[in-house]
């Protein structure tokens, strides 16, 4: 097991939030970055200048999640006040649309890539989790997906919009057919809360990060566990797959940000760090920049460079396709 550190200084640090930054999201054009903070605001920042475009006094409590619509014209936010709001990213609060219906905080918001659905996930700790599917155009509720026994922390669509993955404090990952409103698979091998989910670019693999310090790789077709990227005692709170098969980036409870070239899952590289836990990561559309939001109230951006190997990542995908449920591929995460 190998661990390497090529830690670099961030190319940009965005300051301005007065509390932890729980969520970050690039718009599809890569020209704006949205941030959600415990200070009850949503920040919209110009990229690459780093100047604030708008600071939206968004919710009556901490803001836990932000996501841009596939065309970049709308920004969704979810907060501790149980509300989901839609904004025009560059305009003021009066342009918001408000979706009601959650009991407890909203921890995750995500649009389907086809732009049809907006999903919100949350709930109250130690109470059944909530997953709500909304019509993104009309704001009407399509359905509530029931099954999680505790608060939902993560929700993400597959690239083809056909599969929704959700996870939370119950340690379970659920795959849903949203059109038919039914669960298609349940994965339960994590030993702690599952904080984060990310699909591979082709949608065949799902990655999950947990309190148990592991990243697990799953076959989306049948729910098999393909591999485990095993870490130390620090929880994995954020994951993002880089486009162009450029690898996987993870944010840890100890503030480290790691990068795997997926051709070699036995080696992880520390590319940067925050002073405190990293709860959210986002990649620019070209995959060469990663933004991290942290409990330290800062947003750091790192440049990964053009040397990322895409061909080698295809070898990894082919290798884990031969995996079996008990396959164990340990990786030591850098301290």
Residues 272-293: what's their mean pLDDT? 94
- The whole-angstrom separation of Cα 323 and Cα 201 is 19
In the predicted model, what is the mean pLDDT of the chain? 86
The answer to pTM > 0.75 is yes
For 186-213, the pLDDT digits (tens) are 999 999 999 999 999 999 999 999 999 9
Q: Do residues 163 and 184 lie in contact, with contact meaning Cβ atoms separated by under 8 Å?
A: yes
Domain-wise residue ranges, the chain: 2-320
Q: Do residues 166 and 154 lie in contact, with contact meaning Cβ atoms separated by under 8 Å?
A: yes
Give the model's pLDDT for residue 297: 94
First to last CA, the chain: 14
For the chain, the farthest-separated pair of C-alpha atoms sits apart, in whole angstroms, at 53
For 146-164, the pLDDT digits (tens) are 999 999 999 999 999 999 9
Order of strands, sheet of 52-57, starting from the edge strand that comes earlier in the sequence: 21-26, 32-37, 41-46, 52-57
- Per-residue burial over 61-81, b if 16 or more Cβ lie within 10 Å, else e, is ebbbbbbbbbeeebbbbbbbb
- How much of the chain, in percent, has pLDDT values that exceed 90? 70
Strands 236-241 and 225-230: unpaired
Give the long-range contacts of residues 252-258, CB within 8 A, separation 24 or more: 252/277, 252/278, 252/333, 253/277, 253/278, 254/335, 255/294, 255/296, 256/333, 256/334, 256/335, 257/281, 257/290, 257/292, 257/302, 258/333, 258/334
- Per-residue burial over 181-216, b if 16 or more Cβ lie within 10 Å, else e, is eeebbebebbeebbbbbbbbbebbbbbbbbbbbbbb
For 223-249, the pLDDT digits (tens) are 999 998 865 557 999 999 998 777 899
Give the model's pLDDT for residue 215: 92
Superfamily of domain 2-320: YVTN repeat-like/Quinoprotein amine dehydrogenase (2.130.10.10)
Q: Do residues 13 and 299 lie in contact, with contact meaning Cβ atoms separated by under 8 Å?
A: yes
Q: Do residues 198 and 158 lie in contact, with contact meaning Cβ atoms separated by under 8 Å?
A: no
Task: Please name the residues in contact with 199: beta carbons below 8 A apart, sequence gap of 6 or more.
Answer: 156, 157, 158, 159, 165, 205, 206, 207, 220, 241
Give the model's pLDDT for residue 230: 62
Predicted confidence (pLDDT) at residue 119 exceeds the cutoff of 90: yes
**CA 24 vs CA 15, 218, 234: distances in Å:** 13, 25, 21
For 295-327, the pLDDT digits (tens) are 999 999 998 864 444 433 443 444 444 443 333
Phi first, then psi, for residue 12 (nearest 5°) are: -160, 140
- The whole-angstrom separation of Cα 54 and Cα 92 is 8
Residue 34 — very low, low, confident or very high, per pLDDT cuts 50/70/90?
A: very high
Q: Do residues 199 and 283 lie in contact, with contact meaning Cβ atoms separated by under 8 Å?
A: no
């Amino acid at each position: 097991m190998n661990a390497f550190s090529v830690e670099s200084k961030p190319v940009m640090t965005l300051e301005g939030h007065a509390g932890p930054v729980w969520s970050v999201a690039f718009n599809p054009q890569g020209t704006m970055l949205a941030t959600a903070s415990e200070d009850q605001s949503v920040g919209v920042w110009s990229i690459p200048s780093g100047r604030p475009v708008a600071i939206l006094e968004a919710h009556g409590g901490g803001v836990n999640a932000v996501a841009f619509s596939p065309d970049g014209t709308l920004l969704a936010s979810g907060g501790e006040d149980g509300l989901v709001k839609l904004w025009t990213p560059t305009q003021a609060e009066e342009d918001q649309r408000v979706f009601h219906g959650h009991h407890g905080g909203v921890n995750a918001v995500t649009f389907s890539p086809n732009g049809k659905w907006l999903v919100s996930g949350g709930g109250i700790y130690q109470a059944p989790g909530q997953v709500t599917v909304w019509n993104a155009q009309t704001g009407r509720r399509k359905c509530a997906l029931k099954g999680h026994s505790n608060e939902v922390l993560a929700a993400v669509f597959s690239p083809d919009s056909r599969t929704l993955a959700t996870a939370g404090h119950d340690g379970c990952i659920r795959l849903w057919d949203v059109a038919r409103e039914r669960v298609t698979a349940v994965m339960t091998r994590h030993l702690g809360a599952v904080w984060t989910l990310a699909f591979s670019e082709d949608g065949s693999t799902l990655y999950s990060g947990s309190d148990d310090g592991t990243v697990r790789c799953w076959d989306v077709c049948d729910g098999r566990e393909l591999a485990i990227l095993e870490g130390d005692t620090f929880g994995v709170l954020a994951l993002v797959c880089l486009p162009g098969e450029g690898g996987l980036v993870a944010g840890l409870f100890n503030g480290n940000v790691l990068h795997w070239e997926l051709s070699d899952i036995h080696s992880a590289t520390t590319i940067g760090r925050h002073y405190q836990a990293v709860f959210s990561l986002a990649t620019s559309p070209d995959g060469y920049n990663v933004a991290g939001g942290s409990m330290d109230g800062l947003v750091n951006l790192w440049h990964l460079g053009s040397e990322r190997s895409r061909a080698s990542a295809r070898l990894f995908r082919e290798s884990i396709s031969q995996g079996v449920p008990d396959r164990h591929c340990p990786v030591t995460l850098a301290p």
